[in-house]
Structure 1
């Protein structure tokens, strides 16, 4: 009853004052919420700006480092075959050789995509100012194994002019070069009417990814590899 009596006799001015205070209180709460949201937004923008700034700084440093080390982009001018497995070596370059030939040490090499008999292959190499490739050592064999494109045997400049006497087409003494025959070769397979008197890089690839030598019938047609001197010689 007391509360009812109080409400009944409350003056209009008091009610207005009470409502004003309530509005002020609600307004203050809203303002505080806005200030908190504004503060959170400012903090987020600050963190985002800081992160972007750090990223830009890192990119600028990377660019500066690249400018200080231009050799990173230089293409290799020579082949580096002596100190790595040939499958991991630098790709062949043209160097001082004519177009479609590749350079290794002091020689230029051309590999055919067409097939010829051994004699025709040697003649074609001579017409190009070269001869069928002479493989002097294992390093050169690895090089040739790494550049051939076809999964076939390739004629090289090795020929058996007399039974059991192999010679190189450029006059290199066969006894002074490494003998890199494949397993069981040369076998002079007697099934062939013409014998097997010409040497080639075997189509069979070893676990070391090498193509060792094989003897074959000189009248069969295979792709071939020519070897010559650079243009400056």
Structure 2
């Protein structure tokens, strides 16, 4: 309704011109306030809606990220467990006795450790057992050649003794001594001076009996890791 029509209507009903202008001004003012209020309300609603959508998006992204982190963590745990029991093809080629046993050498399906310090036969036996192994058993020409090459004329204890019964030599792992390979030095074992109850490899890898308290290097042997 414009101002001229409003004045005409007011005059028809006997209103004064001054009253007409006041009423017109009042209506225009109220109409302007209503429009401002409506615009502000729409602005607030838009802002709240955007905030709500942003919050919802954050929750969704957080849930997706958490799910992915959980999945990755699970896969890493599986890989870690597998690595403890199964080595990669490259690791098997480089370290057949296991990446954590790099000081062990592979030969003929077994792993061997050549010590860097000397000790008695019984102490050497105990040290091998601490490493879940036993003193080496030499039961073939091939293994004898391997040991000979590695010992280089040094004295190394092997897992052979007759301390339970003189002349009755026994391998520590139960291998039958009487039916297997031997490589004694000429004239050995001779029990010289008595109580030479433990065997070591010496010159050119040949075996010799000596007192078990003698200080020698030692060779440990264990199967391949599974």
Settle same-fold status: TM greater than 0.5.
Answer: yes
> Which of 145, 151, 154 is the equivalent residue of 1:152?
154
Q: Does 1:217 align with 2:219?
A: no
1:1-233 aligned within 5 A = 94-97=95-98, 98-148=101-151, 151-160=153-162, 161-190=164-193, 195-202=195-202, 204-205=203-204, 211-232=205-226
Separation of aligned partners in 1, 2:213 and 2:147:
23
Aligned CA-pair RMSD: 1.9
Residue-by-residue CA offset, 1:164-208 (whole Å, 9 max, x unaligned)? 100000011111211210111101011x6xx21001111x12xxx
For normalisation by structure 2, the TM-score amounts to: 0.55
Q: Report the Cα offset of residue 119 of structure 1.
A: 0.2
Counterpart CA distance in 1 for 2:173 and 2:105 is 19
Q: Any idea what the Cα deviations from partners look like across 1:108-163, whole Å, max 9, x if unmatched?
A: 000001011000000000000000000011111101111226x4210000000201
Q: Secondary structure at the match of 2:169?
A: strand
Give distance in 1, aligned partners of 2:209 and 2:151: 18
CA contact (8 A) 2:155 2:200 kept: yes
| More helix, by proportion | 2
How many angstroms does 1:224 deviate by? 0.3
In the alignment, structure 1 segments of 5+ residues that lack a partner are 1-76, 79-92, 206-210
Q: CA deviation at 1:95?
A: 2.1
